[in-house]
Amino acid sequence: MNTAHRNAPRPDLAAMVVPLGRALMAAEKPVLDAHDLTMWAYAVLCHLDETPLRTQAALAEAIHADKTRIIAVLDDLESRGMLTRRPDPKDRRVRLLSLTPEGRRLRDTVRAAVQNGEERLLGQVPAADREAFLRSLRTLYEMSQGRR
């Protein structure tokens, strides 16, 4: 890295992260299309992995979606055998969600393909910088989610 680049003012985080996020989402789209998934459906599959059973409202909050927006996504995934919705025995108005084995397989397949694409990008970064970047990114993500 040349000295002029090192001494240049740092862009705002959003100015760096937003274009990167857009590029990553554009790279994910063909993978999701190949498996007939939307970004929201993939988010649902990934978040149900973290907590096997959760309410539709809690899921919507976790993926930052309007709870009415994800109903069609849940309907689609359920009709394809990827998840189940069952009444909460404590409150029959509430639906508990869980992935089926087929849903887990689909999530794992798509996640592997997405991460393979990410590896092509990350592979251009020196190993030490890459590890520090991923560690820092995870920390910032967890802080943004109220986990730290």
Buried residues in 104-141 as b, exposed as e (16+ CB within 10 A) = bebbeebeebbeeeeeeeeeeeeeeeeeeeeeeeeeee
At residue 4, the pLDDT reads 63
At residue 79, the pLDDT reads 98
At residue 50, the pLDDT reads 65
At residue 1, the pLDDT reads 53
pLDDT in 10s for each residue of the chain, 148 residues: 556 667 788 899 899 999 999 999 999 999 999 999 999 999 999 999 766 667 888 899 888 899 898 999 999 999 999 999 988 888 888 888 999 999 999 999 999 999 999 998 899 999 999 999 999 999 998 898 887 6
Tell me the three-class secondary structure of 28-58, residue by residue.
HHHHHHHCCCCHHHHHHHHHHHHCCCEEHHH
CA–CA distance, 67 with 102 (Å, rounded to integer): 24
CA–CA distance, 25 with 122 (Å, rounded to integer): 15
Q: What is the identity of the amino acid at 81? A: G
At residue 56, the pLDDT reads 86
pTM score of the predicted model: 0.82
Q: What is the identity of the amino acid at 33? A: D
| CATH of the structural domain 30-144, one choice from 2.60.40.1930, 1.10.1060.10, 1.10.10.10, 1.20.1370.20 | 1.10.10.10
CA pseudo-torsion sign 57, 59, 64, 70: negative
pLDDT-above-90 percentage for the chain: 62
CA–CA distance, 104 with 87 (Å, rounded to integer): 21
Query: Residue 70 corresponds to which tokens in the numbers above?
Result: 């994800």
At residue 57, the pLDDT reads 87
